[in-house]
Structure 1
């Protein structure tokens, strides 16, 4: 089972779109995929029409569970999607209270890692959508993964958020005694806009080989797909956004297999 975390300490850069798009492509290729929503705003959950505030169980229940985590404990929290092999572990607003409730408890940074270990035989891939805030949820998402995908909107304010994220990865790497396999992914790129071209050039100059050499373009089909509550590759398979994410997936799988 491969675990990828999609993270950035700035909102609105394409984290959820990246999670859904990669997960959809993997599921359509016959992989068993789990998408994990660790953002209290639950954008990933709502994308698939899951109103997590009305569910009997969510990822929050895994964090507050005081019994040993089993596969059944985790599987009971999952919701299906329009793809048979794609499932979601939904979030809810109660997650926003975790730092205050449990942030100082020993082992709280490894809860998600243990939960995913319990369902290791159930899935081929796990993609974790992170909140844009450093706290117990992001710590869990980073501790659980083997690869970090950092979507960055191609505009200068987003580049400042990237600085914070990369600094966080350094600090977390020291704390967890691991070196993160990180790929920075330029998103929402519009080649007609000079500022976007300049931001992309700055990104490549400052971060070099850590930056994916392609881009995810602006594509209105992403919005249309979210309204249909399905991955864009399922509804609009021939759009430029799908083509770009297919190339990104190929890059991620090649680097994972090295």
Structure 2
């Protein structure tokens, strides 16, 4: 299973949109995909019309279940979607308590990796939507990853958030003895705004080939799709934002082949 973790320590840069759109595109192309919501706000879960307050099982159970984790326990936490090949491991507000409950216990950073390993034969891809905070949940998401996708809004404050994210990856690399493969994705680009163009050029000059050469534009179709609890690629398949993510997906898959 390929595990793409979508992370940034700044909010509002397009993490959930990136996770949902890439996951939907993969599922439409025949891959069996699980989307994992590690954000206690459960935005991605709600995107699919899943109310975390009504769930009997969620990602929280994967972390705190008293019994040893097994394949069936993980599968019981999944929710289906309108696509037969796309499933959600939903979040709940209870995830917000994990740093207090588990933060000082050894081995807590590998729980999600172990859970995904149990269902490795069921899915081709797992895409993890992260909270914008470096804690137990993001550590788990990064430890489980085979690639980190870092959406960065094309504005200068977001570039500062990127530096914090890259610093965190460096710290994680040392503690896990694992080298992260990562791709920086410029998002929310508005070609009419000089600051956006300047931020994009700064991104390219500073981080070189770690930056995907394309751009994800501002596109109101993403908001419309979210309001309808619909995958962007189904709601508006010809939208410029969807076409941009289709190009990004092609790039990410080529990187996987080249590894």
TM-score w.r.t. length of structure 1: 0.99
| CA–CA distance in structure 2, aligned partners of residues 238 and 70 of structure 1 | 41
Q: What is aligned with 1:155?
A: 155
| CA–CA distance in structure 2, aligned partners of residues 126 and 218 of structure 1 | 26
Secondary structure of the equivalent of 2:5?
strand
Q: What is aligned with 2:53?
A: 53
Is 116-125 or 62-71 further displaced after alignment? 62-71
Instruction: Summarize the alignment of residues 181-192 of structure 1 with structure 2, pairs less than 5 Å apart.
Output: 181-192=181-192
Unpaired stretches in structure 1, ≥5 consecutive residues: none
| CA–CA distance in structure 1, aligned partners of residues 100 and 228 of structure 2 | 36
Alignment pair present for 1:216 and 2:219: no
| CA–CA distance in structure 2, aligned partners of residues 29 and 216 of structure 1 | 20
Secondary structure of the equivalent of 1:127?
strand
Q: What is aligned with 2:77?
A: 77
Query: 1:81 Cα deviation (Å)?
Result: 1.1
Runs of 4+ in 1 over 4 A off after TM superposition: none
Secondary structure of the equivalent of 1:106?
coil
Query: 1:66 Cα deviation (Å)?
Result: 2.6
Alignment pair present for 1:89 and 2:92: no
Secondary structure of the equivalent of 1:257?
helix
Query: 1:53 Cα deviation (Å)?
Result: 1.5
Unpaired stretches in structure 2, ≥5 consecutive residues: none
Query: 1:67 Cα deviation (Å)?
Result: 2.2
Query: 1:62 Cα deviation (Å)?
Result: 0.5
Secondary structure of the equivalent of 1:163?
helix
Q: What is aligned with 2:29?
A: 29
Q: What is aligned with 1:196?
A: 196
Alignment pair present for 1:244 and 2:233: no
| CA–CA distance in structure 1, aligned partners of residues 147 and 176 of structure 2 | 14
Q: What is aligned with 1:2?
A: 2
Q: What is aligned with 1:128?
A: 128
Q: What is aligned with 1:137?
A: 137
Q: How many equivalent pairs are there?
A: 258
Secondary structure of the equivalent of 1:253?
helix
Query: 1:68 Cα deviation (Å)?
Result: 2.0
